[in-house]
Amino acid sequence: MYKTYIRLGKRVPKSVYNELGWKRVDFIDENETCVLVLGGNGTASDQAANGYAKHMEDVLEEKGVKKEDVAIYSIMYCDDSNEDDYFVPSLLQKRSRELLLEQHGRKKKLAPTVKQTEYANEAKHLYGADFLKDDNPEISNPEYIENLFVKTLLYRISESGKRLSFDEACKRVRKLNVVAHCHGVYVFLKLEEMMQQKMKELGYSKKEAEGIQKQLLCVGYAPYAPLGVSKSTMISFGSAKDEEVWHQNTFHRELRVQDQFKALKLAYFPEKQGNVFIIPSFGQEIKYEHNFSNYIRIKSELADEVKAFVQFSQNTIANGVKGSLGDEKISDVKSLVCGDDKALADSFDEAAKNGKDIYATILRNARIEAFFKERR
């Protein structure tokens, strides 16, 4: 039986025992103020997991958060694969993302590449014809999700199998800040799903569960998962020219159209529209739009609106962590993104106006398309 699981690690001072400055740990203490980084599906080694954590450590330090004040964790995706079936994890994770997107409205699947088809045939040969079907638990509800939930979230909402008071659960959950990249956003939404179910089992009321969930912050970069469905405070950042991310819904298609006509600017789409900031591109100098570092590093060659976009990104997690340290509940998106920066607040207002205008255009185009479709 093919199994998946998570290895968890923490940034620590470098030593002869921890040459990377990252060591494996079993769990995150439920009262610890921390950042948990959920990397993309290629995060399968200590080095890759540490890379994510180190990036985040550097950003927080630049933003005035001291290393000793906040712990930074990251994960590795692990499984039973070996040299003969090393390609299996990416196949399963790809189908898991697709399934969740389809459950939230995506109409089309992205056609597999020739190599992906070869890998799929080999996986079926090794594990059986039904291995890549949706009823395989490692596709619909991967075991590594529950494994990670127990290590990171379960004891922020329970103790000895019993629920906490509403205030205590809010306090513990608020101390955990999540950063997710690509497949990591899918992982976060599945963790949230599990957290919702567990709170129901523990006896939290619907109103209590909603209040607790809103105190969990997730900052998503290049999100390869449905937008606008999270019950947590999830704020995402994406590039229209990121070819790795393929949502294939009306919103995504129309954004691409707007970009083709040079009508797309830095835009913010609130709440059910995705709670997402979008830029047309990081610029010609950036070779690979999907990279995690693009979203958290301000480079001199970036255009002004891209620099503002990256500042929004940096501030969201930094202000989230500072709020955790000060026992402050999450309030509104603008405060998280801008803090006390007046110039950035003006950029936020402009991005929100751009988003409103673009969304109105998307709705108008959709109505026109539907009208002519009926007439045909």
Is the pLDDT at 36 greater than 70? The verdict is yes
| 149 and 194 Cβ atoms separated by less than 8 Å | yes
C-alpha distances in Å from residue 252, one per residue of 189, 223, 273, 276, 281? 19, 12, 11, 12, 14
Residue 310 has pLDDT above 80, yes or no: yes
Report pLDDT for 322: 97
Better pLDDT: 197 or 249: 197
Q: 195: which residues sit within 8 A by CB, 6+ positions away?
A: 149, 153, 157, 213, 216
Average pLDDT over residues 54-58: 97
pLDDT score of 164 = 98
- Predicted confidence at residue 209, as pLDDT, reads 98
Fill in the amino acid letter for 4.
T
Helical ranges in the chain per DSSP H: 46-62, 88-103, 114-127, 137-140, 143-152, 154-157, 166-174, 183-202, 206-213, 250-260, 304-325, 333-338, 342-375
Tell me which residue has tokens 């079907």. Answer: 133
Query: Taking 90 as the threshold, does the pLDDT of residue 244 lie above it?
Result: no
The average pLDDT across 56-67 equals 96
Q: What is the largest CA-CA distance in the chain?
A: 72
User: What average pLDDT does range 66-81 have in this prediction?
Assistant: 94
Separation CA 224–CA 184 (nearest Å): 8
**Mean pLDDT of the region 260-280:** 88
**Average predicted confidence (pLDDT) for the chain:** 92
Does the pLDDT value for residue 353 go beyond 70? yes
**pLDDT value of residue 283:** 86
- pLDDT of 335 over the 90 cut: yes
Q: How confident is the model at residue 179 (pLDDT cuts 50, 70, 90)?
A: very high
Is-contact 97 184, C-beta < 8 A?
no
Tokens 């000895």, residue? 160
Total Cβ atoms within 10 A of residue 27: 12
Mean pLDDT value across residues 154-169: 97
C-alpha angle 309/312/313, rounded to 5°? 90
Least Cα distance to 59 among 278, 312, 351 occurs for 312
Q: Find out whether 97 and 89 touch, Cβ atoms under 8 Å.
A: no
Q: What is the pLDDT of residue 152?
A: 98
CA angle, corner 142, sides to 30 and 72, nearest 5? 35
Distances, alpha carbon 224 to alpha carbons 22, 74, 125, 186, 187, in Å: 26, 18, 28, 7, 10
What is the per-residue pLDDT for 376?
66
pLDDT value, residue 1: 60
